[in-house]
Amino acid sequence: MLPGEKKYPHIFSPIKIGKLTCKNRIKYASTEDNFNCHDGFVTNREVAYMEAQAKGGAAIVTTQGAYTDPRGEGKGYVGMMGIWDDKFIPGLKRIADVIKENGALSMLQLMHCGRVGGVELDYTVGPSNVPQRLPRFRPPREMTKEQIKEAIQEHIDGARRAVEAGFQMIEVSGIVGYLVSNFISSYTNQRTDEYGGDIKGRCRFMVEILEGIRKEVGPDIAVGIRLCTDELLHDRGGNKHEESLEAMKMAEAAGIDFLSITAGWQESAVSVISRDVPMGNWLYLAEAVKKAGIKVPITMAYRLFLPEFPEKAIAEGNLDMWEMCRPMMADPFLPNKIAEDRQEDIVPCMACNICLARLFRDVPVTCMVNPWIGHEREEGFGFYGFDKVASPKKVLVIGGGVAGMQAASVAARKGHDVTLMEKGAEVGGQMRIASNGPFGDDEFMRLVNHLKAQCDKDGVKIEFNKEVTTDTLAAVKPDHVIVATGATCNKPAIPGAEKIVDGFDVMEGKASVGKKVVLLGDMGVAMSIAQYLVVKGGHEITIVGKAKKFGTDINPSYVWRVRKKLKEGNVQEVRMATPVAVTDEGVVVKTPEGEVTIPADTVVAAKPESNRQLVDALEKAGVKYRIVGDAYKPRRGSNAVNEGFRAALEIDA
First to last CA, the chain: 41
Backbone angles phi, psi at 643, to 5 degrees: -70, -35
Strand 540-544 vs strand 516-520: parallel, antiparallel, or unpaired?
parallel
Return the pLDDT at 239.
96
Q: Are residues 387 and 474 in contact, defined by beta-carbon separation less than 8 angstroms?
A: no
CA 339: distance to chain centroid?
23
Q: Give 491-533 as a DSSP string.
A: PPSSTTGGGEEEHHHHHTT-S---SEEEEE--SHHHHHHHHHH
- Residue whose C-alpha is closest to residue 241's, from 296, 284, 272, 209: 284
3-state class percentages of the chain: helix first, strand second, coil last, to nearest 5: 35, 20, 45
- Nearest 10 degrees: Cα torsion 582, 587, 590, 594: -120
Q: Are residues 269 and 228 in contact, defined by beta-carbon separation less than 8 angstroms?
A: no
Residue-wise pLDDT for 117-168, tens only, equals: 999 999 999 999 999 988 889 999 999 999 999 999 999 999 999 999 999 9
Structural domains in the chain plus CATH codes: 3-350 (3.20.20.70), 394-488+610-649 (3.40.50.720), 497-607 (3.50.50.60)
Choosing from 49, 178, 187, 632, the catalytic residue is: 178
Residue-wise pLDDT for 6-54, tens only, equals: 999 999 999 999 999 999 999 999 999 999 999 999 999 999 999 999 9
Q: Judge whether 178 counts as a catalytic residue.
A: yes
Give the integer Cα–Cα distance in Å for 66 and 30.
10
Residue-wise pLDDT for 543-600, tens only, equals: 999 999 999 999 988 898 899 999 999 999 999 999 999 999 999 999 999 999 999 9
pLDDT of residue 653 exceeding 70, the answer is no
